[in-house]
Structure 1
Amino acid sequence: MMANLFSSFDPSSSFNLALNWLSTFLGILFIPTSYWLIPSRFSLAWNKIILTLHNEFKILIGKNIKGSTLIFISLFSFLMFNNFLGLFPYIFTSTSHLVMTLALALPLWLSFLIYGWLNNTLHMLAHLVPQGTPPVLMPFMVLIETISNIIRPGTLAVRLAANMIAGHLLMTLMGTTGPSLPLLILTILLITQILLLILESAVAIIQSYVFAILSTLYSSEVI
């Protein structure tokens, strides 16, 4: 019996240490050594995904800066691995914590902002007032655009964490009611859980993709 519904998101382990954060790096162990040496269907499929993401990110960034898409592809891969790992039993979902998501979003956003204001100051100022804004509304638009820029890392972090928490909570809630149910309802519950797990697998990919795409769009505004 769970004392708290949110205890499944508790990073503490049986040794009273926060060892569950080590699950963040488990994705590296899932890549076999042969992946780097022998071309397989897995490596060919992964290379195809990376190439597709590279072409998409390159279009969004606008300018052809060498290696500019690498950071966003790495970000997507890292988040996708962690989102997927969280769906396995007894593996801590690190991306459901704001500590993790903010640690990814805040430095990215801050580096883009500093780069933009130091190198393209006029371009950054022009972004504060959208084209065609009446002179009377310009002070309000500057205020609104400034606030929207400041809350960007927060929205990125909260979106990812909230989506990870929501699905896991629903699965936990449904799972805890299972033992007390009759056989027919239990069968329906199991089918629902399987469908929910498939949905969560899709959410794991979509949310990592959304995080990477939005980061790319934010970087394109400062170049």
Structure 2
Amino acid sequence: MMANLFSVFDPSSSIMSFSLNWLSTFIGILLIPLLMWLIPNRFTIFWNLIIIKLHNEFKLLIGKKLINKGSTFVFISTFSIIMFNNFMGLFPYIFTSTSHMCMTLSLALPLWLSFMIFGWINNSKHMFAHLVPQGTPNILMPFMVCIETISNIIRPGTLAIRLAANMIAGHLLMTLLGNTGSSILMILLPLLLLTQILLIILESAVAIIQSYVFAVLSTLYSSEVI
């Protein structure tokens, strides 16, 4: 009987019906030495440079109204969490939490819902005006309202599916190639190893890019409700 290929993403260890695989989300907190927060080192300096760069970029995307309120650090924290979990999934025998919709939706849905509630309560006229793009003919206005409403509703789903699908795709490809190692010819083993190394490099880039895309799109969605 052939096993399900997607079973590699299923939680496998549990205690009293509670899956322990989700604890991989917090493994990094245990790995970070406590002295890192007290003594400046190269890692903290490098990470501070990344945070400053992201802060300046998100500040431009949000606009001038929320620059001095620390709103960019919400998206910087989201970027950090997603990138960390994406990288943790590249290590052997560590559960990839960002490949599951329950993880990605739990990040995307509260952000989108808070933007919508804030926008409709504080800027109702702006939100209604946003449903009809400028220059739309009167005949097409009802259709544009329906289209814009649907596009707003599916935004958290698209954020969650994009992140989960990209994490699953690369891991599935590496799993497929890894399973062929026992049946492949010895001459082709170096080629298989080289391909796996290239895939790991590609997945490392995807881990950074997808977390950046998630944070940037969340920032753009927040700028529309101001």
Task: Sort the TM-score into its range (normalised by shorter chain).
Answer: over 0.9
What residue ranges of structure 1 are gaps of 5+ in the alignment? Answer: none
C-alpha distance in 1 between matches for 2:221 and 2:29? 28
1:31 match: 32
- 1:156 corresponds to 2:159: yes
- 1:185 corresponds to 2:191: no
| Equivalent residue letter for 1:222 | V
1:58 match: 59
Q: TM-score under structure 2 normalisation? A: 0.95
1:157-204 Cα shifts (integer Å, max 9, x gaps): 000000000000000000001111111211101100000000000000
1:221 match: 224
- 1:141 corresponds to 2:135: no
| Equivalent residue letter for 2:167 | M
C-alpha distance in 2 between matches for 1:222 and 1:30? 39
2:126 match: 123
Moved more, 182-191 or 111-120: 182-191
Does the 8 A contact of 2:9 with 2:96 survive in 1?
A: yes
Q: Give 1:65 shift.
A: 4.1
Q: Give 1:132 shift.
A: 1.3
- Count of residue pairs the alignment pairs up: 223
C-alpha distance in 2 between matches for 1:29 and 1:210? 27
After superposition, the CA RMSD in angstroms is: 1.4
What aligned pairs does 1:203-222 form with structure 2 within 5 A after superposition? 203-222=206-225
Q: Give 1:14 shift.
A: 6.5
| Equivalent residue letter for 1:3 | A
Q: Give 1:37 shift.
A: 1.1
What SS does structure 2 have at the residue aligned with 1:87? Answer: coil
| Equivalent residue letter for 1:36 | W
Moved more, 175-184 or 9-18: 9-18
1:103 match: 106
| Equivalent residue letter for 1:111 | S
What residue ranges of structure 2 are gaps of 5+ in the alignment? Answer: none
- Report % sequence identity: 77
Does the 8 A contact of 2:14 with 2:20 survive in 1?
A: no
